[in-house]
A and B are shown apart, each in its own frame.
Chain A
Amino acid sequence: MAHRLRGAAAITGLGITPMGRIYDKSSTDFAVDAVRLAIADSGLEKSEIDGLLINAGITGNTGGGVSLQLQNALGMGNLRLLNHMNAAGSTAAQMVQYATMAIDAGMVNHVVCVFADAPLREGASAGAAYGGAGRRQGPTGILGLSAGAGHFGANTSYALAAQRHMALYGTTQDQLGAVAVAERSWATMNPHATMRDPLSLEQYHASRWIVEPLHLLDCCLVSNGAVAVIVSSGERAREMAQPPVYIWGMGQGHPGDSRSAGDFPETETGARIAAETVFGMAGVGPEDIDVCELYDCYTYTVVVTLEDYGFCKKGEGGPFVEDGKLGPGGSLPTNTGGGQLSAYYMWGMTPLSEAVIQTRGQGGERQVEKHDLVLATGNGGALNYHASLVLSPHAN
């Protein structure tokens, strides 16, 4: 028997702003734009929106991030649900989950979930937008040993994780590169994507080291912009403007980061826990998934996430991706908009937005023919936080 909440709610609106090096808008400006676009997409009136969930990106930590003030900028004075949430890159999927539960509880009708960020500054590198985030104060104590050893930011953490995977399982640079190449192939067909020139494995290898074993092209973009989605009941979704994107499964898994105690989740992530819940609720398994939209802050994240969802065995993610099955025409179309590596970096909204497009069948040139079940994942911290959704165009 199907889970009671399977198909009970649906994503009914999507708004994606222009992305990239756009300097004349604040995070809040971007957020308002995305919400306006999502409302127009859904066919609702603004007055019908009665829930608002907000996620600021890195500017939530470094300053200038979108805040609860967004409610006032949007002129939404009758909200029945409001929060500013942060579990890093897992937040987008989580916002949809909490919206679904609140709708089921009868608290609220239409919840807009928005992510906005604007860390890029004119004349400063993308790395500066993130690499500087961790060193505003001098390091202290045990946690400070990382910075004291010259460890700066997520690039270092993911390089350490990837190196461990390579040592344990023989994962190769070619295999990581296969992820970058496949995603770029998809991005060439995505008008929202920042990087649309085709990429060869040779070009991948030639890109400079950032933190070895990660090349520049193993690392995600940094983008200014915003994405919003609207969650409504499945029943209402059937009468709305867009093809409904029903929420079949919801899951989370959070190993955290107690690395000083020896539990750094380098090669087994929260996706393992989330997989049981999300597939359990949806009543499906990895073999049923048609399209994957996986959080891809680094190429390595895709490899380890595929393993943890059971698409292949632990340690076999490298050979699994090497044959090009993630790319156009492959047997497991993955990150079909180009992902965070080639399209845009909106934390968990990157995979979620493309999942909505594919589930609706609105992917145009890049639309995957069979899209009955789509997995969208979010990952945050250094593989510390994870949340995911299984989406379907079918009510049940």
Chain B
Amino acid sequence: MADDVPVKPVSQPDELTEPFFAAGAEGRLVVAVCTVCGDMRLPTSATCPTCLAEGLEWREVSGKGTVHTFAIMHRRYHPAWEPDLPYNIAVVELEEGPRLPANIVGVENDDIAVGMPVEVVWEREGEAPVPRFRPVA
């Protein structure tokens, strides 16, 4: 085996987001809900940016949303992504509100549009679960 095959640097769980990736491994999308004010987010800090309280619980969401915006990557920034060029990257707004960056799969780049309805599909890069989205049939 060629051990010099480049690997995509996909996001790994940290202490805060372990439940997010664990749910993803089961094909479920969860978001954090502040136990004090109910703010719903994909957390980048342990405290709630709305009320500054600690404490969150994870809630499964529909996995459905729309393409908020997108772009097409044409330049090689990382060798592992080179075979995919040109590839898309989108910001998806979930039905429940939070947004997250993700690739859109199962559609040609030219057919992606802002506002397009999409749904989550968890894929794997190596062992790691990666949230991607596909057009809603």
Contacts and interface: CB of A to CB of B under 8 A. Distances in A.
B98 to A, nearest CB: 6
Interface of A: 127, 131-132, 135, 138-153, 155-156, 159-161, 163-164, 167-168, 208-214, 258-262, 264, 266
Nearest to B85: A150
B38 interface: no
Given A259-B99, A260-B43, A148 B77 contact: no
B17 A141 contact: yes
Interface string B83-107: 0101101010100011111110000
Contact of A208 (B13, B74, B78): B74
Contacts of A149: 89, 101-103, 130, 132
B55 interface: no
Contact of B102 (A145, A259, A266): A145
Contacts of B8: 148, 150
B6 interface: no
* Majority DSSP secondary structure for residues of A touching B: mixed
B14 interface: yes
A148 B10 contact: yes
Interface of B: 8-14, 16-17, 20, 39, 41-44, 49-50, 68-75, 77-78, 81, 84, 86-87, 89, 91, 93, 97-103, 113-115, 125, 130-132
Shortest beta-carbon contacts, A-B, top 10: A144-B11, A167-B114, A159-B71, A152-B77, A212-B72, A164-B69, A148-B11, A148-B10, A209-B74, A260-B42
A127 B77 CA distance: 8
Contacts of B113: 167
Nearest to A166: B114
Contact of A142 (B17, B75, B78, B89): B17
Contacts of A147: 9, 11
A128 to B, nearest CB: 9
A81 B4 CA distance: 52
Contact of A260 (B99, B103, B114): B99
A161 B11 contact: no
B101 A141 contact: no
Given A139-B11, A150-B89, A259-B99, A211 B72 contact: yes
Given A141-B44, A145-B101, A150 B87 contact: yes
B77 A209 contact: no
Contacts of B77: 127, 131-132, 150, 152-153
A161 B49 contact: no
A156 B73 contact: yes
A161 B12 contact: no
A260 B9 contact: no
A148 B9 contact: yes
Determine which residue in B12, B81, B87 has the highest number of CB atoms from chain A within 10 A of its CB, and name it: B12
B75 A211 contact: yes
Nearest to A157: B71
Determine which residue in A138, A140, A150, A159 has the highest number of CB atoms from chain B within 10 A of its CB, and name it: A150
B44 A260 contact: yes
Contact of A135 (B69, B78, B114): B78
